[in-house]
Amino acid sequence: MTILVTGSAGFIGFHLCKRLIKSKESLICIDNFNDYYDVNLKNSRADYLSKENEKYQGNYELLKLNICDKSKLKNVFEKYSPNYVVHLAAQPGVRYSLENPDSYINNNLVGFANILEICKDHKIKHLLFASSSAVYGGNLNIPFQENQSVDHPINLYAATKKSNELMAHVYSHLFNMPITGIRFFTVYGPWGRPDMALSLFIKAILNKEVIQINGNGAMERDFTYIDDIIEGLVRLIKKIPTGNDKCFDKKNPTPSQSWAPYRIFNMGNSKKELLSKYIEVLEDCLGEKAIKDFQPVQPGEMFATESSNKLLEEWIAFKPNTPIENGIKKFVDWYREFYKI
């Protein structure tokens, strides 16, 4: 079995590759190492994976490649013949989508179309792709469930992720491609992105700088620890969906099911936490108090998220459950070691 992972130098991709290397899976990884955030962190992740591969004597190869380059992407599939694909490469971020929409169109739509088309041509056994809790948009009916409408995104990033889900379903239907989409909920942990709240907060607190708290501290997020995400992904890779025409009622369709071999799952901690509490836990771990500047909700931001993991648990007998007290402590320990603080 050969697994291809896109976005392997990204946060989730790195942790997945680390886990798969330890399992001695045959692993092909691609990343474009763009400068959306600190490239040094991405290079450090890649270096760590290379050392892990030597340690476990694995079969891992990293290629620098942009998924928007369809010709080079096809060459990778032709050379390595992957059986499974985990597509995690994307342009992330909500606020950045207001500034640079072209990046989201190119990476999240054109790039994903390339992945779908090439996976179809190579008859991939299972394609997993990253969606996002952002697709729930203006929905205030929480916890979010997969059978709810996701027709009202409130930022371009969310719109591209919903588009990915629709594009994937088309390919699953037309070409009988087994595809699973995962709606991630605010993922955090060691090696996390420096543009995410936890990294921004810890840096500001340690430097005695003001931290901006949007929503006046009343915003709520379903913070999900990275190890839980990876456990879920590993279980999903070999859990291949099959079509079920008999169980799907086309006269009364539900968004959480399909006649095609296609599934969508939430993957969150199933518990919303106040952003203000999240900061309090971070303060306790650091032994430092934050200087806070309360601001209203920013354009394009959701006020609250919370995941229902019922379908996921039924499918793979697992759901995330790491308390933020444990997860934030592990992040702080890593941050101090990595940045030598």
Query: Which amino acid, one-letter code, is at 184?
Result: F
Say how many C-beta atoms besides its own lie within 10 A of residue 210's C-beta: 12
**H helices present in 1-133, as ranges:** 11-22, 39-56, 70-80, 95-99, 101-104, 111-121
Chain-centre distance for alpha carbon 187:
7
For the chain, count helices (H), then strands (E): 12, 13
Query: Active site includes 157?
Result: yes
Catalytic residue among 104, 157, 188, 335: 157
The answer to whether 138 and 127 are in contact (CB under 8 A) is no
Say how many C-beta atoms besides its own lie within 10 A of residue 11's C-beta: 25
> Which residues does residue 132 pair with via DSSP β-bridges, in sequence order?
184
Say how many C-beta atoms besides its own lie within 10 A of residue 9's C-beta: 25
Contacts of 247 (CB under 8 A, 6+ apart): 257
Chain-centre distance for alpha carbon 256:
19
Nearest to 261 by CA among 286, 287, 243, 278: 243
Tokens representing 30 are 């691609």
d(CA 73, CA 69): 6
DSSP assignment of 87-120: E------SHHHHH-HHHHIIIIIIHHHHHHHHHH
What 3-state DSSP class applies to 239?
coil
d(CA 22, CA 196): 27
Write out the catalytic residue numbers. Answer: 157
